[in-house]
Homo-oligomer: A and B are copies of this chain.
């Protein structure tokens, strides 16, 4: 078994824990499937060393909004987070989903602690400013509190973050879970940690043919990425994911993987690896 932590004694009675940290993000499709989610949490629980889980929202918030008769305001196909939508998102992401994941991980002897960006001021953000459109309570990340994340990790706690940040003025803000995962990874890397980012979704990784799981592209570097975009093989929702991934690598994250949630237990050998 790999030992992920290296204790470096650099002064008498003072030790610094240099850590390898795994930052795993799961999307809504797993949240929406209790059996898949349970297996994923079993696999997550078994991963060695320090780790952080970041989860998206799934369909539950949308369904809840519909049931409560709150109409989605859409601009250019994107949802606006108005005050009522923020309430739903806070209930579903930070309450229902986050706390059930935490309770399930606890049952797997995984000492999880569920957090929004407001808790312990883990992620502060600013309300998105857009001259043309008011996106409502949407937050762009300003800073990540590495100090307290490491306090938790170094004391055996496993942070489980949902897609909410805060503005420091009392407002919670909706923030994309991929962006949260990438910001945490960069902040942890800048702090000198060896960071492995894993983005789990419903496909085997980045595919040549989106309908063929056997067409996995095992590695993508910057040069190949330009070609894949030019040829249209990589398009739509995969572009922001890969942009995020290359940004992480540029900012010192050791490894970025995009893989299927079911492959988490062997993620080193699965999915698409992003490299310089």
Give the complex CA separation of A166 and B112 in angstroms: 12
Q: Which stretch, A92-100, A186-194, A207-215, A216-224, touches the partner chain B?
A: A92-100
Q: Total interface residues on A, using CB and 8 Å?
A: 40
* A168 and B106 form a contact (CB under 8 A): yes
Give the complex CA separation of A184 and B51 in angstroms: 29
* B103 and A171 form a contact (CB under 8 A): yes
Interface string of A45-85 (1 = CB under 8 A from B): 00000000000000000000001100000000000000000
* A102 and B90 form a contact (CB under 8 A): no
Nearest chain B CB to A267's CB is how many angstroms away? 24
Known contacts A91-B95, A107-B169, A111-B121; 17 further A-B pairs (Cβ under 8 A): A13-B13, A92-B95, A94-B94, A94-B99, A95-B95, A99-B118, A103-B166, A103-B170, A103-B171, A106-B168, A111-B120, A112-B118, A113-B119, A114-B119, A120-B157, A151-B151, A151-B155
Residues of A within 8 A of B (CB): 13, 67-68, 87, 90-96, 98-100, 102-104, 106-107, 111-116, 118-121, 148, 151, 155, 157, 164, 166, 168-172
